[in-house]
Structure 1
Amino acid sequence: MKREKLKLSTILSYALATGSGYQIMGSLVGAYLMIFLTDTFGVPAGAVGVITVVASIWDAINDPMMGTIADRTKSRWGKYRPYFLFIPAILTVVVVLLFASPNIGTHGKIIWTAVFYILYGMLRTAIEIPSGALINAVTDEPSERSKMINAYTMVMGICTTIATSFGLALVSLFGGDNTAKGYMIVVGLAGVIMTITCWMCFATTKETCVQHNEQKPLLEEIKNLFHVKGLLSVIAVWLAAYTAYNIMMSSSVYYIMYCLCRPDLISVYMLDVSLVGLLGIVIIVPLFMRLFHKTQKAFAISQVAVIICDILIVIFHGNMAVLFICSGVASMFATASMPFSAMMMTEMTDLVLIDSGRVVNGTMAALKGFSNKAGIAISSAIVSFTLAATGYIANAIGQEPQAVITGITVARFVVPVICGIVIILALVKYPITDEIRQKVRAVYEKQHTENK
């Protein structure tokens, strides 16, 4: 019995919606928001840390809620597609205001940042969760899901490279001496791209693999999910992977500017990290999956490479050749964690299906999304609290205390090593086996037969 193959237009539109403007915006926030807040807007580093922790706590509450809301959504457009229509434009306005720099005093700036950063996280959730859930709703064929994941991570890698490598140049181009204006224009343009591509995705996707569950209370739905074998280990993997990736991006600018005293190398270094990181999606993921066949094994081996490279950078601190080569290689394997994490999400969603018969696309995507934003919050908190605790002086290139330099170095390279070790240990408990994959395939084949 032949089933309709996933159209190329669906794969491309999904990749553009989740990987282009949306990712450029997220990369700019991840790489440059903290240094914008501390060095341009004038928010104390300690306050930035508190804001990210508070936002993380709120995300712990609203992410699972958004997942179950998405799973329960009923509309003529489907469960997940409607969120692509209305949220992007609102998110664009919020992130533009997040980079505004009103002269409202220190306390006013802290409140301004807190309000718009929390709104930013909530609105990203309202897109991120449905977009993650949409993969399983569009197709139940593992090879087609892999194509969707590979396509969007490819676009994501390219756009991350553009945002992190040329972000400051674009800010300078559009804003001149007015840094805040430059950021607002750049993220605004990213928002326009995001809105258009999300509408394209809405128009070209169909939710053909959606089942409607018996309605259960929200808290009971979430509680039952945590009884799934191996789920906590998977969440630990996601949390460590996103923390390592985001701290790599958010602390790199500080490291080049204040530890090496070479602000002229920021764009070159970010290009190295982002461009070589793209190879992780293009080469490492398909190569490792072909060599090792299992997601968890490929993921674990990639983390060994990250650990080795970061240790070498610490040992040969100040050696530019080692820094650029090892940073690029480490980024390549760290970036590979993004598609590996997405593959784990789809497999865990299938595990819940065969264990309980329930479809929890949105809720599982919510747990992955929460891990992502919690990783962002943890990495931001580590950097900001480190700066506050060590006596960081904004814009004091070449005059920072040794404690600041040591703290930034530890945050940039030692924390990712610790995260890599956590990932490897947690992957030992990954519950997906070949037997489970065969059971999943049998369930889907049965559904296709019944539908015929």
Structure 2
Amino acid sequence: MENQQPKEIFERKFAFFHASSVSGTAMMIAAIIGSYFSVYLTDTVGIAPTAVAGLMLAATFWDAVNDPIMGVVADRTKTRWGRYRPYFIPAPVLLTFFATLLWFNPGLGKNNIWYYMIIYIGYGMTVTMYTMPQMSVLPAHIKDDQLRNRVIMLGAGFTALMFTIGSSYALSLKSFFENIFGISNGYIPLMLILGLFSCISFWGLFAVSKEKYVEPLPERPLTQDLKRILRHKELTPFIVVWIMASLGYGLMFATSVFYVMYYLARPDLIETYMLVVSMGALVSMVFLLPIVLRIFKTGQRALIFSVLSSSLVYAILFFVGKSNFIVLCVLTFVATALASMQNALVNVLVNDAIDYIQFTEGISANGVISSIKGFAQKCGNTVSNSLPLFILGLVGYVAGAIGQQNEATLFVLNFMRFAAPIITGGIMLLCLRFNPVEKHYDDIALMKSMIRDHSEDNHGA
């Protein structure tokens, strides 16, 4: 009588540390930088908006380019601790170092721009160092789709929570540390403390993760896997969706502070509005996402619902957002709750792409696929970080001139905040019509079942 293979179980320690690593205090650091760093550079350090846009463009573009490099390197890493796990040791230390120095003003005058360029590039490369292995270790540790999705949803919940705290309360936390320590820049101790917690979560992931579902290191050249993957033009829709999801999510936070400060001319309401945005994201990830997935069954259908419903509310906000602050907050909460789940749902496509390449090419390329997703995400970040400031600089935006901005500046702020996500969502819907995994779904499921059974046989031997 044949022995039945045991089903995979949900490992709580792995799920917790996987979710709380990239999506824990490291995500809170990212939220603070994404929401307030541009304003800090223009309004506190005194760098021109177009110069900040150039800085963001150059740094995040390089950040995007080095993602595939990191993916290839991770897939070919050979240590006693595995391929992906070793990177979880140094990454949070470097994260703490660069995130702290971002908020330090060296007082170099015009040369400040080069200091921030170097530090921001260092920060971006550190994020790449831990993001690629973290995405790669999930399919290496778990094969079951449902268990993977549970881990992804837990990570989405952490993301929403950390974004809520970071984007909503960064100014209050900054002021708290300034009062406690009697210093002029509370961002520095805040980054140090968050970095310490990130060390705990990443080192915990190193301790509990296992790379059970990876093939032996191949003898083929490093670039061959990337070429074999990129020749699959049918993966292009995935790449475009990843770019658009990142762009839409990035614009949500990158433009909100500017919107309230200059479009509404109410800097006193920044924390209130950011709390509304962040709570909408929290509700989306923690409560709404599981319900939508349960109703629509697949990540793709849930993504389509998210885009259509949020675009409708964004369209209303574009025309009536300024009329009443309470109405603005209510509709913003609804739009954010409907839209934020997109950033988690597109992660399902990463696992789909990994499985598709394994099915068509017979190779395990978790790191390369994750790096392509990372490249696409960073391309979206490049645009969301640089384009608003670049356009604002062109239309005559004046830093600090609350209530005195020209009509072109006000239009750009409103368009970037509420109309741009409708455009990115429409492009996502178009691309989702060409998902290559749909027609091979049953065959891929059979392949994964065979891989899991084979791995369990080997571990049981």
- Deviation per CA, 1:382-402: give whole Å up to 9, x if none: 111022112121111112222
Bigger shift: 68-77 or 278-287? 278-287
Identical residues among aligned pairs (%): 30
Aligned to 2:187: 183
Does 1:80 find its partner at 2:84? yes
Aligned to 1:441: 445
The partner residue of 1:400 within 397, 405, 411 is 405
Q: Distance in 1 between matches of 2:385 and 2:451?
A: 45
Q: Distance in 1 between matches of 2:407 and 2:12?
A: 54
Does 1:114 find its partner at 2:122? no
The partner residue of 1:386 within 383, 391, 400 is 391
Q: Where in structure 1 do 4 or more consecutive aligned residues deviate above 6 Å?
A: 177-180
The partner residue of 2:167 within 159, 164, 168 is 164
The partner residue of 1:195 within 192, 199, 207 is 199
Over 3 Å counting, the alpha-carbon distance change for 1:222 and 1:332 in structure 2 is same
Over 3 Å counting, the alpha-carbon distance change for 1:250 and 1:180 in structure 2 is farther
The CA deviation at 1:175 is: 2.5
Bigger shift: 224-233 or 341-350? 224-233
Query: Which ranges of structure 1 fall in alignment gaps of 5 or more residues?
Result: none
Conserved 8 A contact 1:235-1:368? yes
Bigger shift: 57-66 or 442-451? 442-451
Q: Distance in 2 between matches of 1:273 and 1:180?
A: 28
The CA deviation at 1:12 is: 1.0
Q: Distance in 2 between matches of 1:250 and 1:387?
A: 13
> What does residue range 5-154 of structure 1 map to in structure 2 within 5 Å?
5-106=9-110, 108-154=111-157
Q: Distance in 2 between matches of 1:403 and 1:445?
A: 57
Over 3 Å counting, the alpha-carbon distance change for 1:412 and 1:4 in structure 2 is closer
> What does residue range 303-318 of structure 1 map to in structure 2 within 5 Å?
303-318=307-322
Q: Distance in 2 between matches of 1:279 and 1:407?
A: 28
Aligned to 2:344: 339
Query: Which ranges of structure 2 fall in alignment gaps of 5 or more residues?
Result: none
Conserved 8 A contact 1:66-1:129? yes
Q: Distance in 2 between matches of 1:148 and 1:384?
A: 36
Does 1:356 find its partner at 2:356? no
Aligned to 1:373: 378
Q: Distance in 2 between matches of 1:427 and 1:267?
A: 36
Q: Distance in 1 between matches of 2:117 and 2:346?
A: 29
The CA deviation at 1:374 is: 1.8
Task: Read off the aligned partner of 1:344 and give its amino acid letter.
Answer: L
Q: Distance in 1 between matches of 2:236 and 2:183?
A: 42
Conserved 8 A contact 2:213-2:452? no
- Deviation per CA, 1:235-293: give whole Å up to 9, x if none: 11110111011111011000001110111111111111111211211233222222222
Aligned to 1:298: 302
Over 3 Å counting, the alpha-carbon distance change for 1:450 and 1:173 in structure 2 is closer
The CA deviation at 1:306 is: 1.8
Conserved 8 A contact 1:213-1:358? no
Task: Read off the aligned partner of 2:358 and give its amino acid letter.
Answer: L
Does 1:324 find its partner at 2:332? no
The CA deviation at 1:191 is: 1.1
The CA deviation at 1:37 is: 0.8
Q: Distance in 2 between matches of 1:356 and 1:180?
A: 56
Q: Distance in 2 between matches of 1:179 and 1:384?
A: 29
Q: Distance in 1 between matches of 2:192 and 2:377?
A: 23
The CA deviation at 1:3 is: 4.4
Q: Distance in 2 between matches of 1:179 and 1:425?
A: 51
Two-structure CA RMSD over aligned residues (Å): 1.7
Task: Read off the aligned partner of 1:218 and give its amino acid letter.
Answer: L
Over 3 Å counting, the alpha-carbon distance change for 1:430 and 1:179 in structure 2 is farther
Q: Distance in 1 between matches of 2:453 and 2:75?
A: 24
Over 3 Å counting, the alpha-carbon distance change for 1:287 and 1:4 in structure 2 is closer
The partner residue of 2:419 within 414, 419, 422 is 414
The partner residue of 1:227 within 226, 231, 238 is 231
Conserved 8 A contact 2:249-2:340? yes
Over 3 Å counting, the alpha-carbon distance change for 1:448 and 1:219 in structure 2 is closer
Q: Distance in 2 between matches of 1:387 and 1:186?
A: 30
Q: Distance in 2 between matches of 1:180 and 1:415?
A: 36
State TM-score, norm by structure 2: 0.94
Aligned to 2:282: 278
The CA deviation at 1:4 is: 4.9
Q: Distance in 1 between matches of 2:22 and 2:240?
A: 24
The CA deviation at 1:229 is: 4.9
Task: Read off the aligned partner of 1:158 and give its amino acid letter.
Answer: L
Bigger shift: 16-25 or 318-327? 318-327
Q: Distance in 1 between matches of 2:226 and 2:183?
A: 43
Conserved 8 A contact 2:63-2:125? yes
Bigger shift: 436-445 or 335-344? 436-445
Conserved 8 A contact 1:213-1:359? no
State TM-score, norm by structure 1: 0.96
Task: Read off the aligned partner of 2:394 and give its amino acid letter.
Answer: A
The CA deviation at 1:307 is: 1.1
Bigger shift: 399-408 or 39-48? 399-408
- Deviation per CA, 1:45-83: give whole Å up to 9, x if none: 111111122123323421101001111111111111111
Over 3 Å counting, the alpha-carbon distance change for 1:448 and 1:221 in structure 2 is closer
Partner SS state of residue 80, structure 2: coil
- Deviation per CA, 1:69-117: give whole Å up to 9, x if none: 11111111111111100111012111111111121102x1110111111
- Deviation per CA, 1:267-325: give whole Å up to 9, x if none: 11111111121121123322222222222221011011221111101111412233112
- Deviation per CA, 1:382-430: give whole Å up to 9, x if none: 1110221121211111122222111111111121111111111111111
Q: Distance in 2 between matches of 1:66 and 1:215?
A: 18
Over 3 Å counting, the alpha-carbon distance change for 1:301 and 1:180 in structure 2 is farther
